[in-house]
Amino acid sequence: MKLIKVAAAVLNQTPLDWDGNKANILAAIEGARVAGVSVVCLPELCICGYGCEDAFHSAGLRRTARQVLAEILPATRGMMVALGLPVLYHNGLFNAACVVVDGRIAGFVAKRHLAGEGLHYEPRWFKPWPDGVRVEVELEGQTYPIGDLYLDVGGVRIGFEICEDAWVAQRPGGALSRHGVDVILNPSASHFAFGKLDVRKRFVSEGSRAFGVTYVYSNFLGNEAGRAIYDGGAIIASGGQIVAIGPRFGFELAGVTGAVVDIDATRMGQARTGSFVPAMDHDEMCVRVPFEYPPCKLERQPVRQEAWENGPNVKEEEFARAEMLALFDYMRKSRSRGFVVSLSGGADSSAVACLCAMMVRHVCASIGVPAFRERLAYLRDKLGDDVPQMIRSLLACVYQATENSSKTTLDAARRVAEAVGAEFMVFDVDRQVKEYIRIVEQGVGRKLDWKTDDIALQNIQARTRAPGVWMLTNLRNALLLATSNRSEAAVGYATMDGDTCGGLSPIAGIDKAFLRQWLRWLESIGPEGLGPIPALHLVNQQQPTAELRPTTSHQTDEEDLMPYDLLDAIEDQAIGGKKTPVEVFQVMRVEFPQHTPAQLGAWVERFFKLWCRSQWKRERYAPAFHVDDKNLDPRSWCRFPILSGGFERELTELRELVRKEAGIC
């Protein structure tokens, strides 16, 4: 047996935080060394951070990345380490993995396939490296090989698939396999989305089987740059079997997942496979580096699996853990002194308040109160001595009442705030609302009336709530959280400069139907280790309502719009599936047969009209966390023109079809 120990690192990096990123890298390398690891894979672009965006074009960024790389080199003695940074060659910028062996740079492997969809925008900054090209690059007066290469490190052949390289049909791993590569390292920056772990596990395990190799996958962890959340989850597979999976959604700044693998076993697997045909050409792409592997013993390696990941509520657990991790990182990296939530007593704001409070409890339980306080060292004068005090100091909830607010929502807001331990305040803004109405009535020379001025009278209430809560946020040097969800964003069911106010919109990436389902789960079950919040019963028993019309109107969101499950289904087909109004209607006829063709047609038409009219609102929403690959954020996922033709021709076709269908039925 030829045994070596390999490892994948997960890092909680921040773009352009050179010293912080370096410290995390060094911690990962040291952790690997203590564990007896010889080969370590770190995430792509880990030195500078993945989310540097247009700063990648800065010569200063590249220069500093090289300086930090040089500072890290001495810590790699006796190991092979892969570190990511941008490299310029012939004025083309490349996303590269620097291979360091025993403290010296052996070469650079450049990424061949760039991620250019959804959150990713790599082709804006980087060029894809061409297949089968190896050249020399000069850095700091030294010349190194760079390109589509692999390495023979002490008799073990090591190749790379860098993140997106593993997600394409023609994976580089196939060619690497034919060249007798033993280990494939995948330095990644793979953002979290529901169900994505299963996809990663498949391409890692299948890659290790099909290519006959050991496959090592690393990833980022935490809220790196603001929108994307990275869940960690390092994976190692050998010969088609996953041998190690690292924890996800952790709060450590660096983590290492290692495994002892048998190189002879994977070589035998290749040799005994009838379809395997080795490459017979010269190894022009191979860089040979002398290296002595230390003796290594077989280890019993049970694959880690947390109980909740095998439970019936994986999506609910993932949502809670992703949001808590993102909120903690956003707060500490922005150096905010906590959060303020305008708590209406409804589903959205209650969810946000619960997530903030649970975050404090979960982080303290995960890394301990002293470590929590250390991460928030800039808040030492504000934090209390125990978890309840910390929650109260970091979270303030405000119920803002008008004459149209009900005792039901006030009681719900108060009970939720008390249950989670937040500071709770009540602002009565009715006098300000009435004064604005009086001023405008005087200006236009007439009385405003609900029959003729409905939208204006609703919106002034929402907008009047903004100044006070912003003032409170400023007083606390905190971060105001907007509470709009994705379903509302799709149709613009939010008041600009009212309930959209905030510096961060943590649930704008999730649909209302799932959010209500999640709150029912949180009321009765809750995340593993944290438990339920029974006070949410007062929220969950209500029909969602903006409470902006007189109470006698019995206003509800679904009366204003349409059933939320239908709205989300239309959005999925129209925006995610890019279907026309007629095509969406046809799908809805199958999925929602309980509604008449006329009613479905009206709702589909309403969605498309509201979608087009509200694009300017989506452009102005506060940054949102990405938790679902159905995001509507126009700055990172779903672009649409602010001005458009509004689907007029398509909606005419829809009306004609609806009339025909209604006649048949």
pLDDT digits (tens, 9 = 90+) for 282-293: 788 899 999 999
Over 80: is that where the pLDDT of 665 sits?
Answer: no
Amino acid present at 301? Q
Give the Cα separation of 544 and 487 in Å (integer). Answer: 12
Q: Phi and psi dihedrals of 83, rounded to 5? A: -125, 140
Identify whether the C-beta of residue 205 lies closer than 8 Å to the C-beta of residue 165: no
> Given this model, what pLDDT does residue 631 score?
87
Mean pLDDT value across residues 532-544 = 93
Enumerate the H helices of 477-511 as residue ranges.
486-491
562-665 carries CATH number 1.10.3470: no
Give the pairing type, strands 286-289 and 80-89.
unpaired
pLDDT, tens digit (0-9, with 9 covering 90-100), for 461-514: 999 999 999 999 999 999 999 999 999 999 999 999 988 999 999 999 999 999
pLDDT, tens digit (0-9, with 9 covering 90-100), for 247-273: 999 999 999 999 999 999 999 988 888
How many CB atoms are closer than 10 A to CB 643? 8
> Measuring CA to CA, which residue among 491, 489, 647, 490 is closest to residue 583?
647
Over 70: is that where the pLDDT of 547 sits?
Answer: no
Give the Cα separation of 369 and 366 in Å (integer). Answer: 9
> Given this model, what pLDDT does residue 546 score?
66
Average pLDDT, the chain: 94
How many CB atoms are closer than 10 A to CB 261? 31
Q: Tokens for 9?
A: 């690192």
Delimiting residues of CATH 3.60.110.10 domain(s) in the chain: 3-305
CATH, domain 311-555, list 3.40.50.620, 3.30.420.40, 3.30.70.270, 2.60.40.1080: 3.40.50.620
Q: 81: helix, coil or strand?
A: strand
| Segment holding 198, helix H or strand E | helix 196-210
**Cβ contacts of 179 within 8 Å, gap of 6 or more:** 150, 157, 159, 278, 279, 283, 285, 286
Q: Tokens for 476?
A: 């606390």
Going by the DSSP 8-state scheme, the letter that residue 259 receives in this structure is E
Delimiting residues of CATH 1.10.10 domain(s) in the chain: 562-665
Radius of gyration of the chain (CA): 28
> Given this model, what pLDDT does residue 46 score?
98
Query: If 0-12 CB within 10 Å is exposed, 13-18 middle and 19+ buried, where does residue 487 land?
Result: buried
Give the Cα separation of 273 and 146 in Å (integer). Answer: 32
Identify whether the C-beta of residue 207 lies closer than 8 Å to the C-beta of residue 215: yes
> Measuring CA to CA, which residue among 485, 567, 474, 482 is closest to residue 518?
485
> Measuring CA to CA, which residue among 341, 394, 350, 347 is closest to residue 372?
394
Bigger pLDDT: 289 or 548? 289
Percent of the chain with pLDDT over 70: 99
Mean pLDDT value across residues 56-76 = 98
Percent of the chain with pLDDT over 90: 88
Delimiting residues of CATH 3.40.50.620 domain(s) in the chain: 311-555
Q: Tokens for 187?
A: 């330095």
**CATH architecture observed for domain 3-305:** 4-Layer Sandwich (3.60)
pLDDT, tens digit (0-9, with 9 covering 90-100), for 366-398: 999 999 999 999 997 788 889 999 999 999 999
Question: 96: pLDDT confidence band, cut at 50, 70 and 90?
Answer: very high
Going by the DSSP 8-state scheme, the letter that residue 576 receives in this structure is I
pLDDT, tens digit (0-9, with 9 covering 90-100), for 305-364: 788 998 899 999 999 999 999 999 999 999 999 999 999 999 999 999 999 999 999 999
Over 90: is that where the pLDDT of 548 sits?
Answer: no
pTM: 0.95
Question: 664: pLDDT confidence band, cut at 50, 70 and 90?
Answer: low
Identify whether the C-beta of residue 453 lies closer than 8 Å to the C-beta of residue 549: no
